Amino acid sequence: GTTVIIEDVTFPVEQLAIGVRRLIALFDKHHYDEAILFGHALEGNLHFVFTQGFDSPSQVVRYQAFMDDVTQLVAVEFGGSLKAEHGTGRNMAPFVELEWGSDAYQLMWQLKRLLDPNGILNPDVVLSTDPQIHLKHLKPLPAADEIVDKCIECGFCEPVCPSKGLTLSPRQRIVIWRDIQAKKRAGIDTTDLERDYHYQGIDTCAATGLCAQRCPVGINTGELVKKLRSREATHGKTADWLAHNFKTALQGARFTLHVANGARMLLGAPRLAKISAALSKASSGRVPQWTAAMPQPERAIRFSPPINDQRPRVVYLAACVSRVMGPAASDREQMSLLDKTRGLLEKAGYQVVFPDNQDSLCCGQPFASKGYNEQAEDKRQELLAALIKASRGGLDPIYCDTSPCTLRLVQDLKDTRLDLYDPVRFIRTHLLDKLHFTPQQEAIAVHVTCSTQHLGESQALIELARLCSQNVVIPEGIHCCGFAGDKGFTTPELNAHSLRTLKDAVQYCNEGISTSRTCEIGLSQHGGIDYHGLVYLVDRVTQAKSA
């Protein structure tokens, strides 16, 4: 409910110490008890930060008195500067003449009027004829939700957001949600605003949480969006049925991919893409859009019972997307991720075992992303129990072939017996000493998924790629692909916008690698090259070391 004010002033260096003490005395005088002071001593530059409420006249009066005292202290008493290194802005505009004197101030105005006779360039910023301009148009930061109330709208989150430039950035989502809540408290009808916000703020948010990594106070705007989605999650019975009949749901997904693949063979890829795009648009995204990167259906896992031998065991958790989605028809690699992963693990000397009833298991991510938190947690706990059993109480490591599922399982994991690995961490910790790498010449593009970044394995993935190829490309400016589980199907414009620069960046690459099957669909479509799981590349360039 308060605004963060940050100012920077300069004292003559020889008077810096006393200037610090005098500023602190002003904090005490005006009751800014939480204010902090720091800066650059070599230049006599002091930054001071305090929180200010603008929700009552008395708060504004306190602020006015404080600014009057600060400017008098710095500019008049010490002959310092009211702005050390940042722009003057509206807050110091009324005090420019106080610092520079009338002659210099009038000269500034003459130059301003020569260049801007109509006063249309940044009016009232730096120079203003209104001595009260710093007390007008004050921006409140009303409380909106405890998840985002600490936001000072600095914008550090924006560069990594896939929807920035398409709809809203995390900062803009927070600003508009604050405005909605303030208007509601004031009794103003927000129906139209909330309707527009639904697409701009909720539907087009990937909710991957990369914004939290850049935020100085760790705000995850995606959590706010998920919370808002949960309020609209009104199909609880359907979610319950899917959770309790997950194997049947996967069979349905495979059947849907069979139908799509049959339509491709019947109509041809270009015609099917055109028809499905029209259907998707007409259905407002309810019918997913088919592209040439769409997976073919994956057959169910062929389980092999564990045998007693001397090989170390690894529990292979194949994510539901890996169990459903095979390679695209146009992909040069036609071996499934399941078979490729199992082959690599066995090459390294492991016996691969699977959890019981794996086709009924899910980490809960599909439910959580839609706002069905109760069903999501039930599925997560069911899976963790199955992994404890399969790993013999945590004796065996657990390999998960998809990094988003790994991240969901390890977050807030209280059972320390489980040793869960995503592909990057397992390969770097368990396979490097068991395999001999012969790097290839062909260029490889690397996409570091959001979950890989959250898991802290970004650099490790890049280093593994460099073990496998002498030419590794990491496209600049692509932090999140925007596929976000199913957004690439239901809101394809988000995926397309996020990857709009990918094709040019990877034009000299033969293929790309990642650690999420769904992300690879969008990456293949918009990059113009085939993207595969990391294990495909590692398997291709390695041989087992002799015992």
HEC profile of 361-384: CCCCHHHHHCCCHHHHHHHHHHHH
90 and 168, same structural domain?
Answer: no
The number of beta carbons lying within 10 Å of the beta carbon of residue 39 is: 19
538 and 471, same structural domain?
Answer: yes
- In contact, 73 and 95? CB cutoff 8 Å: no
* Side chain identity at residue 248, one-letter code: T
Is the residue at 386 inside a domain? no
128 and 35, same structural domain?
Answer: yes
Cα 248 to Cα 357: distance, rounded to the nearest angstrom: 12
Last residue of a domain, one of 211, 231, 251: 231
60 and 127, same structural domain?
Answer: yes
Enumerate residues 6+ apart whose C-beta is below 8 A from 519.
447, 449, 481, 483, 531
Is the residue at 215 inside a domain? yes
Torsions phi, psi for 246 (to 5 deg): -65, -35
Strands (E), 237-346: 295-297, 313-317, 325-328
Cα 205 to Cα 308: distance, rounded to the nearest angstrom: 48
- Single out the residue of 426, 369, 430 nearest to residue 401, CA to CA: 426
Helix spans in 8-156 (H):
16-29, 57-71, 96-100, 102-115
* 422: helix, strand or coil: coil
Cα 18 to Cα 38: distance, rounded to the nearest angstrom: 14
Tokens coding 545: 């070391």
Last residue of a domain, one of 197, 231, 265: 231
Last residue of a domain, one of 135, 170, 197: 135
Domain with residue 513: its CATH number is 3.40.50
164 and 70, same structural domain?
Answer: no
Is the residue at 57 inside a domain? yes
9 and 129, same structural domain?
Answer: yes
Domain with residue 57: its CATH number is 3.30.70.2740
196 and 116, same structural domain?
Answer: no
* 130: helix, strand or coil: coil
Cα 347 to the center of its chain, rounded Å:
35
116 and 14, same structural domain?
Answer: yes
Cα 279 to Cα 82: distance, rounded to the nearest angstrom: 60
* Half-sphere exposure of residue 45: CA atoms within 13 angstroms, side-chain side: 10
Torsion on CA atoms 240, 243, 248, 249, rounded to nearest 10: 90
85 and 44, same structural domain?
Answer: yes
- At residue 138, the pLDDT reads 86
- 352 DSSP β-pair partners: 314
User: What is the β-pairing status of strands 313-317 and 398-400?
Assistant: parallel
- Single out the residue of 521, 283, 275 nearest to residue 402, CA to CA: 521
The number of beta carbons lying within 10 Å of the beta carbon of residue 89 is: 14
Is the residue at 245 inside a domain? no
Is the residue at 14 inside a domain? yes
> What strands lie across the sheet with 351-353, from one edge to the other?
351-353, 313-317, 398-400, 420-421
Is the residue at 512 inside a domain? yes
- At residue 309, the pLDDT reads 80
Using the structure block, give the residue that is written with the tokens 């300069």.
10
pLDDT in tens, the chain (547 residues): 788 888 999 999 999 999 999 999 999 999 999 999 999 989 899 999 998 988 889 999 999 999 999 999 999 999 999 998 887 788 999 999 999 999 999 999 999 999 999 999 999 998 999 999 999 988 878 889 999 999 989 899 999 999 999 999 999 999 999 999 999 999 999 999 999 999 999 999 999 999 999 999 999 999 999 999 999 888 999 999 999 999 999 999 999 898 988 988 888 888 888 888 888 788 877 777 788 888 898 877 666 666 778 899 999 999 999 999 999 998 999 899 999 999 999 999 999 999 998 889 999 999 998 889 999 999 999 999 999 999 999 999 999 999 999 999 998 888 778 999 999 999 999 999 999 999 999 999 999 999 999 999 999 999 999 999 999 999 999 999 999 988 988 899 999 999 999 999 999 999 999 999 999 999 999 999 999 999 999 999 999 987 5
507 and 440, same structural domain?
Answer: yes
Is the residue at 474 inside a domain? yes
Is the residue at 427 inside a domain? no
The number of beta carbons lying within 10 Å of the beta carbon of residue 412 is: 7
Predicted TM-score (pTM) of this structure? 0.84
444 and 539, same structural domain?
Answer: yes
Total count of domains within the chain: 3
- 532 DSSP β-pair partners: 513
170 and 106, same structural domain?
Answer: no
Domain that holds residue 489: 435-544
**Max Cα distance, the chain (Å):** 93
- 47 DSSP β-pair partners: 8, 38
Cα 99 to Cα 426: distance, rounded to the nearest angstrom: 62
- 5 DSSP β-pair partners: 50
Torsions phi, psi for 206 (to 5 deg): -70, -25
